[in-house]
Amino acid sequence: MNLANMISSEELLSKKNSIKKIFFFRICGTGMGACACLLKENGYEVEGADQSFYPPMSTYLESTGIPLHPLESVDAKFLSNYDLIIVGNSVPRLSDGARLIEECGVQFTSFPNALGTLLLSDKKVIGVAGTHGKTTTTFFLTQMFDRLKVKAGYFVGGILNDRPPSTLGEDKYFVIESDEYDSAYFQKFSKFRLYELDKMILTSLEFDHADIYNSVEEIEAEFEAVIPKLDTIIADSTYSSIEKLKNKFKDQKWHLYNNETGPLNISGDKDKTNFQVVLYKEIYSFQTNIIGAHNIYNITSCIILLHLEGFSVSDIQHAVADLSLVKRRQEKRGLYNGAIVIDDFAHHPRAISLTVDAIKTKYPEREIITIFEPVSATARSNVFQEEFAKSLMSSDEVIIAKSPMATTAKNSNNLDCEKLVDELKAHCKSALVIDNLNDLRNQIKRISNDKNLILVLSNRSCLGLWESDFVKELI
């Protein structure tokens, strides 16, 4: 690597007011796109390029007026027109793109560093971190600030139905989804270490991202680097890794939620959930329209934070009553031959189990047919070979949409989809493997009727399903 033009945080801060034109190299990722919009909102001239442009991020970027360029048209002369290049973490270290960035003569950095240094250094930054629920919890807290008449800034790593994925806001608070994935090929550490965090909600912590981490201990080390800098940590202590961090950093201000402090006595039906939370040794009751125990845990973390910030319980009770989910989180996409079609991002065993349980609560009268595409680097590996079978067991029928890509997870083989199906069949579950869109469409036709619900679990397009005419056929 040639890092002569990589700009440090200190130098970037000193040039904060002299930088005018910023170029995003691989702009169409959710994090890069949201960051680009924030910098444009702050007055910078922003443009970007990518290999391909897919909705919904491409559509949103176009709506903001940010010029988008095909990546093949970008060369050193083109880049010389900009004061700063922001590099997406999808750019590989030994790629032609990395070489172009390093040799074009323009200073460059990662989007987490640009975001933290140029925009967040004077905000009260609340990071929402953890293996599961980051996006959803960030959006929950953002909406709750709205209900409390606080115009907080936010950065959500997903597409929202009623607002842009990021905005600077007008208040001191800034809520940011804080990913443990690495920042760039030249900054191989977690994004949240660059966000200038003051407070953290830690929803969960277990092994994931097997393409960059060898163990959960390596992920814990990323949190160890940032915890001493935080003035408040709100965390789910039912996770052993979180309990380990709490014991290691006893002098920090920890506020834990668990089986003793809440959420307690979770109950409800397909339209609402009732639960209780202990706040300063007093038990308070809450009701929300959101379904699913994992969502109630995430809402609880937000309740604790807002209470610590001085908001009254009655105002918080009002703030949680009516919330929305991010797109692709338990999102009802429509009906197909009478079957309800739900799209969800779950791709980790625990997330799958919790999502299936939430859908069964919401639609108790329907048979749940789960279509699971194991397509993240970790999901494509055999790291969770046994766990996936257990997580899918509560579905009435399972279809595995097998990705053609080999895993990039460290020290792992590919997920054995056929073995996964055999395990499900051994427990009397109807299950099969499909590896192409045409066969998947035929199976969807076979299973679709007004007694079924089709739950599609994928953090991509599920063999191209969401990019096909299937979407137009939904009513």
| CA gap 268, 274 in Å, rounded | 6
- Please report, for the chain, the start and end positions of each structural domain, with discontinuous segments joined by +: 9-116, 120-320, 331-473
Percent of the chain past pLDDT 70, that is, above it, reads 100
- Give how far Cα 83 sits from Cα of 16, 23, 74, 106, Å: 11, 8, 15, 7
Percent of the chain past pLDDT 90, that is, above it, reads 87
- Alpha-carbon torsion, ordered 293, 358, 370, 207, to 10 deg: -10
Q: What is the pLDDT of residues 355-399, one digit of tens each?
A: 999 999 999 999 999 999 999 999 999 999 999 999 999 999 999
User: What's 331-473's CATH class?
Assistant: alpha beta
Please give the sequence-ordered ranges of beta strands (E in DSSP) within 140-281, or none if there are none: 153-155, 166-167, 173-177, 182-184, 187-190, 199-202, 232-236, 254-257, 264-268, 273-279
User: What's 9-116's CATH class?
Assistant: alpha beta
Q: Band of the pLDDT at 53, cuts 50, 70, 90? A: confident
pTM, to two decimals: 0.90
Q: What is the pLDDT of residues 333-346, one digit of tens each?
A: 999 999 999 999 99
**Residue 112 half-sphere exposure toward CB, CA atoms < 13 A:** 25
Token duo for residue 163: 């607002």
Architecture of domain 120-320: 3-Layer(aba) Sandwich (3.40)
Q: Across the beta sheet with 173-177, what order do the strands follow?
A: 166-167, 153-155, 173-177, 124-129, 199-202, 232-236, 254-257
